[in-house]
Amino acid sequence: MNIAVLGYGTVGSGVVEVFFKNKANLQKKAGQELDIKYILDLREFPDDPHAALFTKDFAQIAQDDSVKVVAEVIGGLEPAYTFTKTCLERGKSVVTSNKELVAQKGAELLEIARAHQVNYFFEASVGGGIPIIRPLHMCLAANSIDEIAGILNGTTNFILTKMIREGMPFETALALAQQLGYAERNPAADVEGQDACRKICILAALSFGEHVYPKDVYTEGITKITLEDVAYAADCGCVIKLIGRAKRGEHGGKLSAMVAPAFISHESQLGTVDDVFNGILVRGDATGDVVFYGKGAGKLPTASAVVGDIIDCAKATGTSPSLRWNPSEGGNVASREENVTRMYLRLQSDTVKLPQAVGKLFGEVHTLNRAGQAADEYACIISERPEHEIDAAIAKLEGMGVTLMGKVRVLDY
């Protein structure tokens, strides 16, 4: 069975490395001979040990019927989308780490794969080297999944860990993450939450059976989190983590789905996921809570997930009927305003008596304290209610001259 690798960046070169390193063992597991026949990249790699495999011509790969599996590790929407579609239509299975493409076009590409009796696998698109896609649709097949939540982005988790453990300010932690190669020079996709958003969309679609578009999921990054927020979280036994979550709609209603920083217990399975690690919690009706933990990114973990999918394609006959979801027009996610949540608030005013004002608007609250707290600062956790009510109450406070310094959801993980 011949394989082509599209893209020779970090993941692509990792795929080639893992493949040749473990080739004998992989062939044993696949039950047949395997070889990488082409590597597609527009750049030149004259000194690469696999220089003979390089091509710049996608058509050469598409037209070679001996190529049965294609690893698309280019990333982004185009040309990845066109290449993937072409390969599937020509009867080649495609495996990928491209979360952006799966989150945007997953339902369509899975349907094309089904129609041509091949597979579209994307284990590496969520959680890097952590097995999550396959356990979700196979091992947990006998469950109805009610909720899925996770720390899905290693870069932001590294930054938050540095803030929590070492009291490092956000900007310093971000600079360190960039220096260590965990964050891009333009870190927006990580720190603004878009990367986590694409991943929770894929997990939600697979869990609940309907495509979920990133644009429909309220997404808030970690750029506004301060060391003061971290200190207040510690006061109630919590840590701040960037959580992507999706929950089945009740009574056939819309899904809830959101990406946002949250207070969670520092002793829980998700609360102890630190540094660049990821953790994903799946709540099934029969199995209860199951958590998957590991390195969510990096060359070799991600590449090993892609290669695992290649092996699986080699063993498969026809399409996997459990790896699919229905297309959707979008608009199937409840709005942020409808979300019901507990909320941490940090307020400042030198004229308003904050405990009294907050008590009037929110009833009983849990007051928080921190070392070095200013006399005109007040922080608390308010009880569960819809966010539109919280918005309205905050607007009232602001009308009274109160400044909102911090606002983070409090979740039960």
Which residues of the shown chain bind a second copy in the complex (CB under 8 A)?
18-19, 22, 25-26, 28-31, 123, 128-131, 134-135, 137-144, 267-269, 272-273, 284, 286-295, 298, 300-301, 303-308, 310-312, 315, 317, 320-322
361 neighbors 390 (Cβ within 8 angstroms): no
Tokens representing 143 are: 């469950």
Task: Give the whole-angstrom CA distance, residue 377 versus residue 387.
Answer: 23
Q: Which is nearer to a second copy, 102 or 347 (CB)?
A: 102
- The least distance separating a second copy from the CB of residue 177, rounded to whole angstroms, comes to 18
Catalytic residue status for 37: no
CA nearest neighbour of 15 among 56, 58, 53: 53
Q: Could you tell me the CA-to-CA distances from 154 to 32, 54, 134, 229, 245 in Å, in that order?
A: 36, 32, 21, 20, 16
Q: Which is nearer to a second copy, 192 or 274 (CB)?
A: 274
CA nearest neighbour of 93 among 254, 310, 308, 255: 310
224 neighbors 156 (Cβ within 8 angstroms): no
CA nearest neighbour of 198 among 306, 266, 273, 99: 99
CA nearest neighbour of 341 among 212, 220, 196, 237: 220
Q: Which is nearer to a second copy, 222 or 305 (CB)?
A: 305
- The least distance separating a second copy from the CB of residue 381, rounded to whole angstroms, comes to 23
Dihedral (CA of 349, 354, 360, 363) sign:
positive
Q: Does residue 141 sit in helix, strand or coil?
A: coil
Q: Which is nearer to a second copy, 266 or 366 (CB)?
A: 266
Q: Which is nearer to a second copy, 232 or 292 (CB)?
A: 292
- The least distance separating a second copy from the CB of residue 181, rounded to whole angstroms, comes to 16
Task: Give the whole-angstrom CA distance, residue 292 versus residue 288.
Answer: 13
- The least distance separating a second copy from the CB of residue 182, rounded to whole angstroms, comes to 14
Contacts of 186 (CB under 8 A, 6+ apart): none
CB atoms within 10 A of CB 381: 21
Q: Which is nearer to a second copy, 322 or 383 (CB)?
A: 322
Q: Which is nearer to a second copy, 140 or 203 (CB)?
A: 140
- The least distance separating a second copy from the CB of residue 348, rounded to whole angstroms, comes to 34
Task: Give the whole-angstrom CA distance, residue 166 versus residue 114.
Answer: 50
Task: Say which of 199, 247, 295, 407 is annotated catalytic.
Answer: 199
- The least distance separating a second copy from the CB of residue 408, rounded to whole angstroms, comes to 22
Tokens representing 251 are: 């009574």
- The least distance separating a second copy from the CB of residue 272, rounded to whole angstroms, comes to 5
- The least distance separating a second copy from the CB of residue 143, rounded to whole angstroms, comes to 5
Contacts of 52 (CB under 8 A, 6+ apart): none
Spacing of C-alpha 362 from chain mean position: 33
CA max distance for the chain? 76
Say which residue the tokens 């005109």 belong to: 376
- Dihedral through CA 369, CA 152, CA 256, CA 170, nearest 10? 40
Q: Which is nearer to a second copy, 5 or 365 (CB)?
A: 5
258 neighbors 214 (Cβ within 8 angstroms): no
Catalytic residue annotation: 199
